[in-house]
Amino acid sequence: MLLQLFDAVIVLTSFSLDLVFIQGITGPQSEEAIALLIIFLLWRILRIINGRRTHQLIATARQFSRMK
């Protein structure tokens, strides 16, 4: 879980830096490449959120099975 949190911080920092530096890059090809990079970063953020949610669901299911 600590590793996932670290990964989330890295991804969010990278995403923020990409948004800041996008102003300095020109040209249609570079803009398309940056847009693709941002989409991939957003996808990775969604994967991290999904992983945390899945982990919580599994932990809850284990606790529930121990109660029975």
pLDDT digits (tens, 9 = 90+) for 5-59: 877 877 787 777 677 666 666 667 667 767 777 887 888 888 889 889 999 999 9
pTM above 0.85, yes or no: no
Residue 53: per-residue pLDDT: 92
Closest CA to 19 of 7, 4, 31: 31
Residue 23: per-residue pLDDT: 66
Q: How many domains does the chain have?
A: 1
The identity of residue 62, as a single letter, is R
Domain that holds residue 54: 2-67
CA distances, 16 to each of 25, 32, 48 (Å): 15, 18, 17
Q: Quote the longest CA-to-CA distance of the chain.
A: 62
Which contiguous run of DSSP H or E holds residue 24?
none
Alpha-helical regions (H) of 1-27:
2-21
